[in-house]
A and B are shown apart, each in its own frame.
Chain A
């Protein structure tokens, strides 16, 4: 069995497991309920109801996708290591990197499917409210998925590095917020006094992912380049996935 075929088999299995998991079902149900609740906010916005419904819905889809992907990344391998079920797979001709890649890609495919389902629900609400279709919607959901993809790859590495689900989740959420604050961080560095005080922040600004770059949802009316951000997200995620694979290859359990 080649590495890629093994990874694909693990990925398909992960998608099936995710589809059966209560967490994913809960995410979808919660997504539906919250999207419905956003209708109330839309009513308060009078003439701007479609815009408010669009913005709140896209944000909720992203947050729920993030919750599913980050929680999945933090637990998917560590849980199997704890319960020893990982031996069932690794005693077969499946390399550790192939297993890890398969697990991650499967999780991402399930997350993408969940986000698409929520988007369909969201679109149904928007069309019912007289919203005019724009291709920017697809770009926004795609940008959200890229952000989730990058942070999930980082979380997978953090989970393997720290061997702690909670630590991985907390650091991932910190990176999520910092990743959206990069413009402000750079602004502070430019105006901050004393290089010594700003040096750690300066260094940090180089390593955290620039999630605002992928945040198409926040600039629906402006230019929306997608190829360069796609390349950036893929490269950033690849770095952490490769290092997660290296860490996992040497891990004893």
Chain B
């Protein structure tokens, strides 16, 4: 018993002394667990797996958006349309788990603003993402691009999104949309470049198939 008491006292002194002398880097805020995923999130957090929990959330979000909604038009769903009311909430949960997982916020904002035509929801999500990671310039670029999209100014949308295309966290959905806007603006060479990039880098078979088809339509080889 003496050893246990000594150990507890020494650990208390060590913890108190260590954290008085050294401040660890800021950690993600404690998570407010939502009822549907509380057990899974608590389980993963208790094992120190915030990133894995965020990854699982992202996979679930992709499956959610990739599943045709009951009673909806299948053709519209293939084009990314539909209602998908939970996209914003699901993306916020991922953001709370891992504030550095910018891909999730950019992907969800892109889907909301450009596919589902709900720019205000996308802007609200990006606002939250900016609070979690104020230095992320891509969030600002998306905010501005969505603003110009609302005004129907495709040229400014393109100009704002172009620098984000080369970033590793740029969703293929945005690349595909930018390529489409290039095509519509008559910038054939730029469209071909982006479609080829999608073919070379994306792991999403749906977008790869679309890029291949578009390149064929533009009369060029995919390579």
Contacts and interface: CB of A to CB of B under 8 A. Distances in A.
Contact of B51 (A177, A179, A218): A218
B55 A183 contact: no
A145 interface: no
A206 B12 contact: yes
Interface string A53-81: 00110010011000000000000000000
B22 A180 contact: no
A236 B11 contact: yes
Contacts of A219: 25, 27, 100
A47 B103 contact: yes
A225 B25 contact: yes
B172 A47 contact: yes
B4 A161 contact: yes
A44 B59 contact: yes
A181 B27 CA distance: 12
A46 B203 contact: yes
A67 to B, nearest CB: 12
B30 A184 contact: yes
Interface stretch (A26-34, A91-99, A120-128, A207-215): A207-215
Interface in B85-136: 100, 103
Contact of A48 (B8, B46, B55): B55
A117 interface: no
B55 A232 contact: no
B173 to A, nearest CB: 9
Nearest to A60: B52
B3 interface: yes
B78 interface: no
B50 A47 contact: no
Contacts of A228: 18, 22, 24
Interface string B180-223: 00000000000000000000001110000000000000000000
- Count chain A CB atoms within 10 A of each CB in B7, B8, B30, B52 and give the residue with the most: B7
B14 interface: yes
B39 interface: no
B12 A45 contact: no
A243 B52 contact: no
Contacts of B103: 47-48, 51
A217 B27 CA distance: 13
A235 interface: yes
Interface in B20-38: 22, 24-25, 27, 30-31
A217 B11 contact: no
Contacts of A215: 48
B3 A48 contact: no
B3 A246 contact: yes
Interface string A211-253: 1110101111111010010011001100110011011000000
Nearest to A211: B48
Contact of B14 (A55, A239, A243): A239
Given A63-B47, A239-B7, A246-B3, A47 B203 contact: yes
B48 A217 contact: yes
B62 interface: yes
A188 to B, nearest CB: 8
Nearest to B168: A132
Given A48-B103, A239-B7, A240-B7, A55 B24 contact: no
Contacts of B58: 45, 48, 52
A206 B51 contact: no
B46 A212 contact: no
B25 A51 contact: no
A209 B12 CA distance: 10
A29 B189 CA distance: 50
Contacts of B172: 46-47
Contact of A180 (B45, B52, B203): B45
A157 interface: yes
B135 to A, nearest CB: 12
Nearest to B172: A47
B203 A59 contact: no
B55 A56 contact: yes
The 10 closest A-B pairs by CB, nearest first: A221-B100, A180-B48, A177-B46, A187-B30, A46-B204, A206-B12, A223-B25, A243-B3, A207-B11, A55-B51
Given A213-B24, A219-B100, 12 more contacts: A41-B59, A45-B59, A46-B203, A48-B55, A48-B58, A48-B103, A157-B3, A161-B4, A181-B45, A219-B25, A231-B18, A240-B7
